[in-house]
Amino acid sequence: AQSVTQLGSHVSVSEGALVLLRCNYSSSVPPYLFWYVQYPNQGLQLLLKYTSAATLVKGINDFEAEFKKSETSFHLTKPSAHMSDAAEYFCAVTGTASKLTFGTGTRLQVTL
């Protein structure tokens, strides 16, 4: 079975500051990991995914995430926050099947 835990339901950063959203996973098999973003009143869009090819994964809008097996983590980072990054972010995991298991989400607020 697979599960993810997202630490912090709300994160607030200043515009231009580092964004760090935390995700820890549990999986009985080598996992595939995903980050999705949801803007208000919209569906979820894929930001990036880890598929075992490289531990540092780059996604859209300068987001990246690093897979750390020893820490069972897949934290999402962005060097410099922009107002348009304000949204809810979901980490998700899958094992050998197609079903994804999602975390409870982290709402990112970006302030001036």
Partner 1 sequence: NAGVTQTPKFQVLKTGQSMTLQCAQDMNHNSMYWYRQDPGMGLRLIYYSASEGTTDKGEVPNGYNVSRLNKREFSLRLESAAPSQTSVYFCASSERDRSGYTFGSGTRLTVV
Would you tell me which residues interact with partner 1 (CB under 8 A)?
9, 32, 34, 36, 41-46, 49, 51, 90, 94, 96-105
Residue recorded with tokens 């949204």:
87
CB of 112 to partner 1, least distance (A): 26
Please say which residue, 69 or 99, places its beta carbon nearer to partner 1: 99
Dihedral of CA 97/101/21/15: which sign?
positive
Please say which residue, 97 or 112, places its beta carbon nearer to partner 1: 97
Q: What is the C-alpha separation between 7 and 105, in angstroms, rounded?
A: 9
